[in-house]
Every structure is written in C-alpha cells, then in structure tokens.
C-alpha cells in the first residue's frame, strides 16, 4: 500500500534596491531583489519547507541556519537537492509540487518554464509534476509597496 503525505511551505523575504533577484533558480532582471542569508530564493525556500514538513523533518531554518556560514550566499537549488536527499533517506519520493509567488513586479510568467526545469533537475522529478503560479497583492501592504515577496508551496510525497 502506498503511503502519501502532503506538506505546506511559506517564506517571505524583503526586497532591496540594486540586489539580485533569484526566483526558482532564475536570475530576474529587476531594480530590486530578495535579500537573505542564502540567495533568498523565496519560492525554493517555501518548497523546501513543504517537503521537510511532509516528511516530518522540521523546517528549512533547522537544517540551513542563517547563522551558519556554510549557507551564506548558496544557491537554493543546492538546498533543495539536500532536502530531496533527506526525504529520500526516509523512503519518500516527491509526487508533485505546487508553488505560488505573490509579488507586484517583475512579471514571472515568461520565466516559469526555466524555473520548472531548474526545480525538476534539482528535485529529480518531471517538469509536469511542478506547478508555478504568481499573483499580485493588488498594491496592498508590504507586497503592494514592493517591499517584500512571499511564496507558498504545497507538495505531495509518497512511499511504497
């Protein structure tokens, strides 16, 4: 009998002027970018948290502390690869990933195929098992003022 679990992830990062903006492993052209200890890829962080949560492996901060210099500036694709290894050690495989990014700008629609390809390669799953969507916050709150970016993710993991 196949056992399945779902996980939910959330992440938020502030935006800073003249800072790189990495999302889904893609460098986006924009006047500001997400700031954090690693590359601040908010979508990949939410995905990592969803996967870790589904496998009952705590959260991304537990595994990749922002006080640990090993993770300073690291690509979040590497963090995702590590998370996939951790859940695999417990016998879990990814069924699918569904991610939502909330930001006013830049528009990410043209970049979604590249993001899906990056995530698929890092996670060892098919592009068809990765959904990425985006919405704005209708110019409300810190997202609407372009002070920050938020991502949510849901995943399904399974084992036989």
18 three-class SS: coil
Q: Please write the tens of the pLDDT for every residue from 110-131.
A: 999 999 999 999 999 999 999 9
Residue that the structure tokens 């492996």 belong to? 57
Q: Residue 116: which domain range?
A: 3-159
Tally the domains of the chain: 1
- Is 38 labeled as ligand-binding? yes
Residue 159: band (very low, low, confident or very high) from pLDDT cuts 50, 70, 90: very high
Residue 11: band (very low, low, confident or very high) from pLDDT cuts 50, 70, 90: very high
- Is 135 labeled as ligand-binding? yes
Residue 97: band (very low, low, confident or very high) from pLDDT cuts 50, 70, 90: very high
Write down the pLDDT at residue 156: 98
CATH number at residue 149: 3.30.1330.50
- Is 68 labeled as ligand-binding? yes
Write down the pLDDT at residue 139: 95
Write down the pLDDT at residue 48: 98
- Is 94 labeled as ligand-binding? no
Q: Please write the tens of the pLDDT for every residue from 140-154.
A: 999 999 999 999 999
Residue 108: band (very low, low, confident or very high) from pLDDT cuts 50, 70, 90: very high
User: Alpha helices, DSSP H only, in 32-158?
Assistant: 42-54, 60-63, 76-89, 112-123, 141-144
Q: Please write the tens of the pLDDT for every residue from 45-92.
A: 999 999 999 999 999 999 998 888 888 989 999 999 999 999 999 999
Q: Measuring CA to CA, how many Å separate 110 from each of 28, 34, 89, 116?
A: 10, 19, 35, 12
The reply to whether omega before 101 is within 30° of 0 (cis) is: no
- Is 76 labeled as ligand-binding? no
pTM here is 0.97
- Is 119 labeled as ligand-binding? no
- Is 10 labeled as ligand-binding? no
């Amino acid at each position: 009998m196949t056992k399945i679990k779902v996980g939910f992830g959330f992440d938020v990062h502030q935006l800073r002027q003249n800072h790189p903006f990495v999302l889904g492993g893609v460098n986006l052209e924009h006047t500001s970018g997400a700031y954090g200890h690693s590359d601040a890829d908010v979508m990949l962080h939410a995905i990592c948290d969803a996967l870790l949560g589904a496998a009952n492996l705590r959260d991304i901060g537990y595994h990749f502390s922002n006080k640990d210099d090993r993770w300073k500036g690291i690509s979040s694709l590497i963090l995702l690869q590590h998370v996939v290894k951790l859940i695999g050690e417990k016998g879990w495989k990814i069924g699918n990933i569904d991610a939502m990014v909330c930001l006013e700008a830049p528009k990410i629609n043209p970049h979604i195929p590249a993001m899906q390809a990056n995530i698929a390669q890092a996670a060892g799953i098919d592009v068809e098992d990765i959904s990425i969507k985006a919405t704005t916050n209708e110019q409300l709150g810190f997202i609407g003022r372009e002070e920050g970016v938020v991502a949510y993710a849901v995943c399904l993991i399974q084992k036989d």
